[in-house]
Chain A
Amino acid sequence: MGADQELVDALRAGDEAAFSRIVSEWSRPMLALARGFVSTDASAEEVVQETWLAVIKGLDRFEGRSALRTWVYRILVNTAKSRGVREHRSLPWSSLAGDDAGPSLDPALFQDGAWRAAPGEWPEHVAVESSVLAGEVRGELESAIATLPERQRTVITLRDVLGMSSDEVSDLLEISQGNQRVLLHRARTAVRGELASYLAHEGEV
């Protein structure tokens, strides 16, 4: 809590650099989180801005019972939820249905439970950050994420792209760890699959 108290003190004293820094950093997860509750990117942006205005005004009432970041994210979720209701967007986070149920990988890949053909090998430098391939792969990943069903997209973005913990994500989205894992699993399976077919085509060239 020491560093957090320092941050709160700095903000209350009007430290603009500290404020700019958290706005820039925290708005990434906040946008992804908001997008899980509202209908468009534009309204997610508005929710994030509205949240920061509420934070500015409410800073003096912050009691330090949770980390500042958690407090900010909670305000965001509440703001996003009421906005979602106004937009008549009803995508229940608590139940799994439709795109989020059933086996995640095509059953046709298996015969009697075993692979019909082993997954193709990936080039060794695919995970090397600086390689040209990694740049192209990032683009593939971005479009793979963009085409996921909404709840899967939100969970994989928060967990794997932004590195939030499973506790934090379950907590903010108000879903069980089990349901979160189901969404994450389906998302990861789909994204790995997209990447695999992209890399297979690369190999043919």
Chain B
Amino acid sequence: MAALTCQEMVEVVTDYLEGSLGWRDRRRVAKHLAHCTACARYVEQMRETLTLLGTVPVDTLSDEAQSALLDAFRDFRR
């Protein structure tokens, strides 16, 4: 079984983090990360990126649109 290169490692990082790799590939990744500080750092930065993405604010409907919908709900349910 050929060892994983760094360039291959960065292309399977999402499969790895998503848990969609088979056990053989998981083991190849684990082996690579145990010896490669550059890739270990890359994966760690990817995890940090995901944590930070979870804090990005996302728009919802404007207040006007929300209150128009509430009016429609009230009218219909009456």
Contacts and interface: CB of A to CB of B under 8 A. Distances in A.
Contact of B41 (A49, A119, A188): A119
Interface stretch (A61-69, A84-92, A122-130): A122-130
Nearest to B18: A181
A49 B72 CA distance: 11
Contacts of B52: 126-127, 134, 137-138, 141, 195
Which secondary structure dominates where chain A touches chain B?
Answer: helix
Interface residues of B, number: 44
Contacts of B6: 110, 113-115
Contacts of A156: 53
A28 B59 contact: yes
Which secondary structure dominates where chain B touches chain A?
Answer: helix
A52 B61 CA distance: 11
Contacts of B49: 141, 188, 191-192, 195
Contacts of A195: 45, 49, 52
Nearest to B44: A122
Contacts of A118: 37-38, 41
A145 B61 contact: no
B38 A56 contact: no
Given A113-B8, A119-B41, A191 B53 contact: yes
Interface string A38-79: 000000010011001100110000000000000000000000
Interface residues of A, number: 58
A119 B42 contact: yes
B69 interface: yes
A161 B10 contact: no
Given A138-B56, A188-B13, 13 more contacts: A23-B70, A48-B61, A49-B61, A114-B7, A119-B45, A122-B45, A127-B48, A127-B51, A129-B55, A134-B52, A137-B52, A181-B18, A189-B14
26 contacts: A14-B77, A25-B60, A28-B60, A31-B61, A48-B61, A49-B61, A49-B69, A52-B69, A56-B69, A105-B11, A110-B5, A115-B38, A118-B41, A119-B38, A119-B42, A134-B55, A138-B55, A141-B52, A157-B58, A161-B53, A161-B54, A163-B54, A185-B11, A188-B14, A189-B13, A191-B49
